Structure 1
Amino acid sequence: MNVSQTIETEEDFLTCLHIKFYHPQQNCRGLYGLLPLGTKNTHSADDPLKLGRDAHACSYSLVDPRVSRKQLSLQAYRTPQCPDMLFTIQNLSQRGRMSVNGSALDYLERMDLPNKALIRFGEYEMLVVREFGEAKGNFEVQFEVLAVPPSRQTFLCVPTTTAVMDTCSPVMNGLPTDVSAIGPLETDETLMYLS
Protein backbone atom coordinates (compact mmCIF):
# COMPACT_ATOMS: atom_id res chain seq x y z
CA MET A 1 0.00 0.00 0.00
CA ASN A 2 1.26 3.45 -0.89
CA VAL A 3 2.28 5.66 2.07
CA SER A 4 0.16 8.57 0.79
CA GLN A 5 -2.95 6.36 0.96
CA THR A 6 -2.44 5.49 4.63
CA ILE A 7 -1.72 8.99 5.97
CA GLU A 8 -4.82 10.79 7.17
CA THR A 9 -5.10 14.37 6.03
CA GLU A 10 -6.67 17.21 7.98
CA GLU A 11 -9.53 17.28 5.47
CA ASP A 12 -10.57 13.82 6.74
CA PHE A 13 -11.74 15.45 9.97
CA LEU A 14 -14.11 18.20 8.90
CA THR A 15 -16.33 20.01 11.37
CA CYS A 16 -19.90 18.96 10.63
CA LEU A 17 -23.10 20.93 11.20
CA HIS A 18 -26.01 18.52 11.65
CA ILE A 19 -29.11 20.54 10.75
CA LYS A 20 -32.41 18.91 11.66
CA PHE A 21 -35.73 20.43 10.56
CA TYR A 22 -39.27 20.20 11.83
CA HIS A 23 -42.41 21.89 10.48
CA PRO A 24 -45.97 20.97 11.57
CA GLN A 25 -47.10 20.51 7.93
CA GLN A 26 -43.97 18.81 6.59
CA ASN A 27 -45.74 15.54 5.74
CA CYS A 28 -48.32 17.07 3.40
CA ARG A 29 -46.00 19.54 1.62
CA GLY A 30 -42.67 19.11 -0.15
CA LEU A 31 -40.86 21.69 1.99
CA TYR A 32 -37.49 19.94 1.90
CA GLY A 33 -37.47 18.91 -1.77
CA LEU A 34 -34.38 21.01 -2.58
CA LEU A 35 -32.31 19.93 0.45
CA PRO A 36 -29.78 17.09 0.10
CA LEU A 37 -31.24 15.05 2.98
CA GLY A 38 -29.11 12.36 4.62
CA THR A 39 -25.84 13.14 2.87
CA LYS A 40 -22.85 15.17 4.03
CA ASN A 41 -22.00 18.10 1.78
CA THR A 42 -18.72 19.98 1.96
CA HIS A 43 -18.92 23.77 2.25
CA SER A 44 -16.06 26.26 2.03
CA ALA A 45 -15.37 27.90 5.41
CA ASP A 46 -14.83 31.34 3.86
CA ASP A 47 -18.26 31.32 2.17
CA PRO A 48 -21.37 32.04 4.31
CA LEU A 49 -23.92 29.24 4.25
CA LYS A 50 -27.25 30.88 3.41
CA LEU A 51 -30.64 29.26 3.81
CA GLY A 52 -33.86 30.63 2.36
CA ARG A 53 -36.47 30.33 -0.39
CA ASP A 54 -34.32 31.63 -3.27
CA ALA A 55 -32.25 28.79 -4.73
CA HIS A 56 -30.02 31.24 -6.63
CA ALA A 57 -29.18 33.52 -3.68
CA CYS A 58 -28.86 30.77 -1.06
CA SER A 59 -26.64 27.73 -0.57
CA TYR A 60 -29.68 25.63 0.40
CA SER A 61 -33.39 26.26 -0.19
CA LEU A 62 -36.74 25.47 1.38
CA VAL A 63 -39.78 25.12 -0.89
CA ASP A 64 -42.08 27.38 1.11
CA PRO A 65 -43.50 30.76 0.00
CA ARG A 66 -43.67 31.87 3.66
CA VAL A 67 -39.89 31.56 4.08
CA SER A 68 -37.93 34.70 3.24
CA ARG A 69 -35.91 34.82 0.05
CA LYS A 70 -32.83 34.87 2.29
CA GLN A 71 -33.76 33.62 5.78
CA LEU A 72 -30.50 33.10 7.66
CA SER A 73 -26.75 32.83 7.30
CA LEU A 74 -24.18 30.67 9.09
CA GLN A 75 -20.60 31.98 8.94
CA ALA A 76 -17.55 29.98 10.05
CA TYR A 77 -14.74 31.70 11.92
CA ARG A 78 -11.77 30.94 14.18
CA THR A 79 -10.10 32.78 17.02
CA PRO A 80 -6.44 32.82 18.11
CA GLN A 81 -7.44 31.31 21.47
CA CYS A 82 -9.41 28.34 20.08
CA PRO A 83 -8.36 25.87 17.38
CA ASP A 84 -11.99 24.82 16.71
CA MET A 85 -14.12 26.14 13.89
CA LEU A 86 -16.87 28.31 15.38
CA PHE A 87 -19.98 29.77 13.75
CA THR A 88 -22.16 32.86 13.92
CA ILE A 89 -25.79 32.95 12.86
CA GLN A 90 -27.40 36.01 11.30
CA ASN A 91 -31.06 36.75 10.60
CA LEU A 92 -31.39 37.85 6.94
CA SER A 93 -35.18 38.13 6.98
CA GLN A 94 -36.67 41.63 6.99
CA ARG A 95 -40.18 40.40 7.63
CA GLY A 96 -39.71 37.86 10.38
CA ARG A 97 -37.93 37.41 13.65
CA MET A 98 -35.81 34.46 14.48
CA SER A 99 -34.82 33.03 17.84
CA VAL A 100 -31.75 31.05 18.86
CA ASN A 101 -32.23 29.10 22.10
CA GLY A 102 -34.90 31.61 23.08
CA SER A 103 -32.90 34.77 22.25
CA ALA A 104 -34.58 36.87 19.56
CA LEU A 105 -32.65 38.10 16.53
CA ASP A 106 -34.08 40.89 14.37
CA TYR A 107 -33.04 41.71 10.81
CA LEU A 108 -29.24 41.61 10.32
CA GLU A 109 -28.58 40.85 13.98
CA ARG A 110 -26.10 38.07 14.60
CA MET A 111 -24.81 35.99 17.48
CA ASP A 112 -22.37 33.18 18.16
CA LEU A 113 -23.92 29.80 17.49
CA PRO A 114 -23.63 27.44 20.49
CA ASN A 115 -22.60 23.81 19.99
CA LYS A 116 -26.28 22.84 20.12
CA ALA A 117 -28.91 25.38 19.13
CA LEU A 118 -32.66 25.41 18.61
CA ILE A 119 -33.45 27.98 15.92
CA ARG A 120 -37.02 29.07 15.26
CA PHE A 121 -38.41 31.09 12.38
CA GLY A 122 -41.99 31.07 11.16
CA GLU A 123 -43.36 27.63 12.01
CA TYR A 124 -39.95 25.98 11.56
CA GLU A 125 -37.81 24.50 14.29
CA MET A 126 -34.24 23.84 13.28
CA LEU A 127 -31.87 21.99 15.59
CA VAL A 128 -28.20 22.61 14.76
CA VAL A 129 -25.57 20.40 16.39
CA ARG A 130 -21.87 21.02 15.75
CA GLU A 131 -19.53 18.02 15.54
CA PHE A 132 -15.94 19.18 15.94
CA GLY A 133 -13.25 18.55 13.35
CA GLU A 134 -9.68 19.65 12.67
CA ALA A 135 -9.87 21.02 9.13
CA LYS A 136 -9.60 24.77 8.65
CA GLY A 137 -10.68 25.34 5.04
CA ASN A 138 -13.97 23.44 4.84
CA PHE A 139 -16.81 22.08 6.91
CA GLU A 140 -19.63 19.65 6.24
CA VAL A 141 -23.39 20.09 6.45
CA GLN A 142 -25.84 17.25 6.89
CA PHE A 143 -29.62 17.83 6.73
CA GLU A 144 -32.35 15.62 8.13
CA VAL A 145 -36.03 15.88 9.00
CA LEU A 146 -37.31 15.17 12.51
CA ALA A 147 -40.63 13.45 13.17
CA VAL A 148 -41.29 15.47 16.35
CA PRO A 149 -40.40 19.06 17.24
CA PRO A 150 -36.95 19.29 18.84
CA SER A 151 -38.37 21.74 21.39
CA ARG A 152 -40.37 18.89 22.94
CA GLN A 153 -37.13 17.06 23.65
CA THR A 154 -35.33 20.12 25.06
CA PHE A 155 -36.04 21.20 28.61
CA LEU A 156 -34.39 24.19 30.26
CA CYS A 157 -34.23 25.26 33.86
CA VAL A 158 -35.84 28.69 33.96
CA PRO A 159 -35.46 30.60 37.23
CA THR A 160 -38.49 32.60 38.24
CA THR A 161 -38.26 36.30 39.07
CA THR A 162 -40.97 36.31 41.72
CA ALA A 163 -40.65 35.55 45.41
CA VAL A 164 -41.60 31.95 44.69
CA MET A 165 -38.99 29.19 44.58
CA ASP A 166 -36.99 28.59 41.40
CA THR A 167 -38.32 25.74 39.30
CA CYS A 168 -37.07 23.53 36.53
CA SER A 169 -39.97 23.63 34.12
CA PRO A 170 -40.55 22.28 30.64
CA VAL A 171 -40.76 25.77 29.18
CA MET A 172 -39.38 25.21 25.75
CA ASN A 173 -36.22 27.25 25.42
CA GLY A 174 -37.62 30.22 27.25
CA LEU A 175 -40.39 30.71 24.70
CA PRO A 176 -44.05 30.73 25.73
CA THR A 177 -45.78 27.41 25.24
CA ASP A 178 -49.34 26.23 25.56
CA VAL A 179 -49.57 25.96 29.34
CA SER A 180 -52.55 23.63 29.15
CA ALA A 181 -50.43 21.13 27.25
CA ILE A 182 -47.74 20.92 29.93
CA GLY A 183 -49.81 21.61 33.04
CA PRO A 184 -49.15 24.10 35.81
CA LEU A 185 -45.55 25.20 36.16
CA GLU A 186 -45.63 26.28 39.81
CA THR A 187 -47.91 27.32 42.62
CA ASP A 188 -47.59 30.19 45.02
CA GLU A 189 -48.88 28.95 48.34
CA THR A 190 -48.33 32.35 49.99
CA LEU A 191 -51.17 33.90 48.00
CA MET A 192 -53.76 31.91 49.98
CA TYR A 193 -52.51 33.37 53.27
CA LEU A 194 -52.21 36.97 52.08
CA SER A 195 -55.74 37.30 50.74
Structure 2
Amino acid sequence: MNVSQTIETEEDLLTCLHIKLYHPQQSCKPLYSLLPVGTRSKHSADDPLRLGRDGQACSYALVDCRVSRKQLALHAYRSPPGSDMLFTIQNLSQRGQLSVNSSALDYLEKMDLPDKALIRFGEYELLIIRESGEAKASFEVEFEVLVAPPSRETCTCVPSVTPVTETGSCVMNSFPSDIRALGPLETDETLMVLMMNH
Protein backbone atom coordinates (compact mmCIF):
# COMPACT_ATOMS: atom_id res chain seq x y z
CA MET A 1 0.00 0.00 0.00
CA ASN A 2 1.26 3.44 -0.88
CA VAL A 3 2.35 5.44 2.19
CA SER A 4 0.42 8.54 1.06
CA GLN A 5 -2.84 6.55 1.20
CA THR A 6 -2.35 5.58 4.83
CA ILE A 7 -1.67 9.08 6.09
CA GLU A 8 -4.72 11.03 7.16
CA THR A 9 -4.67 14.16 5.04
CA GLU A 10 -7.80 15.87 6.37
CA GLU A 11 -5.90 17.91 8.93
CA ASP A 12 -2.86 18.56 6.71
CA LEU A 13 -4.17 21.80 5.24
CA LEU A 14 -6.16 23.76 7.79
CA THR A 15 -8.15 26.88 7.05
CA CYS A 16 -6.37 29.76 8.79
CA LEU A 17 -7.80 33.01 10.09
CA HIS A 18 -5.09 35.67 10.11
CA ILE A 19 -6.18 38.24 12.71
CA LYS A 20 -4.16 41.45 12.53
CA LEU A 21 -4.74 43.78 15.49
CA TYR A 22 -4.28 47.48 16.04
CA HIS A 23 -5.08 49.79 18.97
CA PRO A 24 -3.72 53.36 19.30
CA GLN A 25 -2.40 52.65 22.83
CA GLN A 26 -0.91 49.21 22.14
CA SER A 27 2.68 50.43 22.54
CA CYS A 28 2.15 51.59 26.14
CA LYS A 29 -0.34 48.94 27.38
CA PRO A 30 -0.03 45.12 27.44
CA LEU A 31 -3.34 44.65 25.59
CA TYR A 32 -2.23 41.49 23.74
CA SER A 33 -0.20 39.76 26.47
CA LEU A 34 -2.70 36.85 26.68
CA LEU A 35 -2.80 36.26 22.91
CA PRO A 36 -0.49 33.77 21.15
CA VAL A 37 0.91 36.49 18.85
CA GLY A 38 3.05 35.20 16.00
CA THR A 39 2.16 31.51 16.39
CA ARG A 40 -0.64 29.47 14.85
CA SER A 41 -3.15 27.97 17.26
CA LYS A 42 -5.48 25.12 16.36
CA HIS A 43 -9.18 25.59 17.12
CA SER A 44 -12.03 23.08 16.92
CA ALA A 45 -14.51 23.97 14.18
CA ASP A 46 -17.55 23.03 16.25
CA ASP A 47 -16.61 25.45 19.05
CA PRO A 48 -17.18 29.19 18.41
CA LEU A 49 -14.02 31.27 18.69
CA ARG A 50 -14.77 34.00 21.23
CA LEU A 51 -12.69 37.12 21.78
CA GLY A 52 -13.19 39.40 24.78
CA ARG A 53 -11.90 40.43 28.19
CA ASP A 54 -12.85 37.25 30.08
CA GLY A 55 -10.18 34.58 29.66
CA GLN A 56 -12.52 31.93 31.14
CA ALA A 57 -15.47 32.59 28.81
CA CYS A 58 -13.42 33.39 25.69
CA SER A 59 -11.00 31.44 23.52
CA TYR A 60 -8.72 34.48 23.40
CA ALA A 61 -8.59 37.44 25.79
CA LEU A 62 -7.61 41.09 25.52
CA VAL A 63 -6.19 42.80 28.63
CA ASP A 64 -8.45 45.84 28.47
CA CYS A 65 -11.20 46.78 30.93
CA ARG A 66 -12.99 48.72 28.17
CA VAL A 67 -13.50 45.55 26.12
CA SER A 68 -16.67 43.60 26.86
CA ARG A 69 -16.39 40.36 28.80
CA LYS A 70 -17.42 38.61 25.57
CA GLN A 71 -16.88 40.94 22.60
CA LEU A 72 -17.35 38.82 19.48
CA ALA A 73 -17.64 35.25 18.25
CA LEU A 74 -16.57 33.60 15.01
CA HIS A 75 -18.60 30.53 14.04
CA ALA A 76 -17.25 28.08 11.46
CA TYR A 77 -19.67 26.49 8.97
CA ARG A 78 -19.81 24.81 5.59
CA SER A 79 -22.37 25.27 2.86
CA PRO A 80 -23.48 22.03 1.11
CA PRO A 81 -22.13 22.66 -2.41
CA GLY A 82 -18.66 23.81 -1.27
CA SER A 83 -15.93 22.27 0.76
CA ASP A 84 -14.50 25.56 2.06
CA MET A 85 -14.80 26.37 5.74
CA LEU A 86 -16.57 29.72 6.06
CA PHE A 87 -17.32 31.89 9.08
CA THR A 88 -19.97 34.13 10.54
CA ILE A 89 -19.17 36.91 13.00
CA GLN A 90 -21.48 37.77 15.87
CA ASN A 91 -21.45 40.78 18.20
CA LEU A 92 -21.59 39.52 21.81
CA SER A 93 -21.25 42.97 23.40
CA GLN A 94 -24.29 44.63 24.92
CA ARG A 95 -22.29 47.85 25.35
CA GLY A 96 -21.57 48.80 21.79
CA GLN A 97 -21.72 48.14 18.10
CA LEU A 98 -19.27 46.10 16.13
CA SER A 99 -18.65 47.02 12.51
CA VAL A 100 -17.65 44.65 9.73
CA ASN A 101 -16.26 46.70 6.85
CA SER A 102 -19.02 49.34 6.74
CA SER A 103 -21.87 47.25 8.23
CA ALA A 104 -22.79 47.71 11.90
CA LEU A 105 -23.88 44.79 14.08
CA ASP A 106 -25.81 45.30 17.31
CA TYR A 107 -25.93 42.86 20.22
CA LEU A 108 -26.30 39.22 19.09
CA GLU A 109 -26.58 40.17 15.41
CA LYS A 110 -24.42 38.13 13.06
CA MET A 111 -23.36 38.14 9.44
CA ASP A 112 -21.15 36.16 7.07
CA LEU A 113 -17.51 37.11 7.44
CA PRO A 114 -15.96 38.11 4.10
CA ASP A 115 -12.60 36.60 3.11
CA LYS A 116 -11.01 39.93 4.08
CA ALA A 117 -12.78 42.04 6.68
CA LEU A 118 -12.01 45.13 8.74
CA ILE A 119 -13.60 44.69 12.17
CA ARG A 120 -13.95 47.67 14.52
CA PHE A 121 -15.10 47.95 18.13
CA GLY A 122 -14.11 50.66 20.58
CA GLU A 123 -10.68 51.85 19.44
CA TYR A 124 -9.70 48.42 18.10
CA GLU A 125 -9.24 47.59 14.44
CA LEU A 126 -8.89 43.95 13.41
CA LEU A 127 -8.11 42.91 9.88
CA ILE A 128 -9.24 39.29 9.45
CA ILE A 129 -8.08 37.40 6.37
CA ARG A 130 -9.30 33.87 5.68
CA GLU A 131 -6.81 31.46 4.08
CA SER A 132 -8.78 28.44 2.86
CA GLY A 133 -7.91 24.84 3.65
CA GLU A 134 -9.42 21.38 3.29
CA ALA A 135 -9.75 20.23 6.90
CA LYS A 136 -13.27 19.76 8.24
CA ALA A 137 -12.81 19.37 12.00
CA SER A 138 -10.58 22.31 12.90
CA PHE A 139 -8.96 25.52 11.74
CA GLU A 140 -6.01 27.65 12.75
CA VAL A 141 -5.81 31.18 14.10
CA GLU A 142 -2.76 33.42 13.82
CA PHE A 143 -2.58 36.78 15.59
CA GLU A 144 -0.33 39.60 14.42
CA VAL A 145 0.08 43.13 15.80
CA LEU A 146 0.09 45.93 13.21
CA VAL A 147 2.09 49.13 13.68
CA ALA A 148 -0.47 51.23 11.78
CA PRO A 149 -4.27 51.02 11.61
CA PRO A 150 -5.38 48.70 8.79
CA SER A 151 -8.05 51.24 7.81
CA ARG A 152 -5.24 53.42 6.42
CA GLU A 153 -4.36 50.73 3.90
CA THR A 154 -7.82 49.37 3.15
CA CYS A 155 -9.62 52.70 3.60
CA THR A 156 -12.96 50.96 4.04
CA CYS A 157 -14.49 54.16 5.29
CA VAL A 158 -18.13 55.07 4.98
CA PRO A 159 -18.60 55.92 1.26
CA SER A 160 -19.32 59.62 1.98
CA VAL A 161 -15.95 59.99 3.72
CA THR A 162 -13.04 60.55 1.34
CA PRO A 163 -9.44 59.42 1.87
CA VAL A 164 -6.72 61.98 2.51
CA THR A 165 -4.23 61.41 -0.27
CA GLU A 166 -1.06 62.65 1.47
CA THR A 167 -1.26 60.27 4.44
CA GLY A 168 -3.56 57.55 3.16
CA SER A 169 -5.58 57.88 6.37
CA CYS A 170 -9.30 58.41 6.45
CA VAL A 171 -11.08 61.63 7.35
CA MET A 172 -12.62 59.72 10.29
CA ASN A 173 -9.14 59.73 11.89
CA SER A 174 -9.27 63.53 12.09
CA PHE A 175 -12.20 63.42 14.50
CA PRO A 176 -11.30 64.25 18.12
CA SER A 177 -10.31 61.24 20.19
CA ASP A 178 -13.31 61.68 22.52
CA ILE A 179 -15.66 61.13 19.55
CA ARG A 180 -13.65 58.13 18.29
CA ALA A 181 -13.55 56.66 21.82
CA LEU A 182 -17.33 56.26 21.70
CA GLY A 183 -16.73 53.32 19.42
CA PRO A 184 -17.52 52.62 15.82
CA LEU A 185 -19.85 55.36 14.63
CA GLU A 186 -21.63 55.65 11.36
CA THR A 187 -20.88 59.09 9.96
CA ASP A 188 -23.59 60.92 8.13
CA GLU A 189 -24.09 64.46 6.88
CA THR A 190 -25.37 65.61 10.28
CA LEU A 191 -22.23 64.49 12.08
CA MET A 192 -20.03 65.90 9.31
CA VAL A 193 -21.82 69.29 9.57
CA LEU A 194 -21.49 69.27 13.37
CA MET A 195 -17.78 68.56 13.08
CA MET A 196 -17.30 71.33 10.50
CA ASN A 197 -19.09 73.88 12.70
CA HIS A 198 -16.59 73.35 15.55
TM-score, normalized by length of structure 1?
0.80
Q: Is the 8 A contact 1:98 1:104 kept in 2?
A: yes
User: Deviations 1:159-192 (Å, cap 9, x if unpaired)?
Assistant: 66xxxxxxx94289x994438xxxxxxxxxxxxx
The question of 1:93 aligning with 2:69 is answered no
Q: Could you report, residue by residue, the CA deviation over 1:58-77 in whole angstroms, capped at 9, with x for unpaired residues?
A: 00000000000000000000
Do the aligned partners of 2:20 and 2:128 also contact (CA within 8 Å) in 1? yes
Q: Does 1:76 align with 2:76?
A: yes
Pairwise CA RMSD of aligned residues? 2.6
| 2:10 aligned residue | 10
Q: Secondary structure at the match of 1:153?
A: helix
1:49 lines up with 2:49 in the alignment: yes
The aligned residue for residue 170 of structure 1 is 163
Q: CA deviation at 1:7?
A: 4.6
Unaligned runs of 5+ in 1: 161-167, 180-195
Aligned length: 171
Matched letter for residue 41 of structure 1: S
Q: Tell me, yes or no, if the aligned pair for 2:102 and 2:156 is still in contact at 8 Å.
A: no
* Equivalent residue, structure 1, for 2:148: 148
Identity among equivalent positions (%) equals: 72
**Partner letter of residue 174 of structure 2?**
D
Q: What amino acid sits opposite 1:178 in the alignment?
A: S
Gaps of 5+ in 2: 176-198
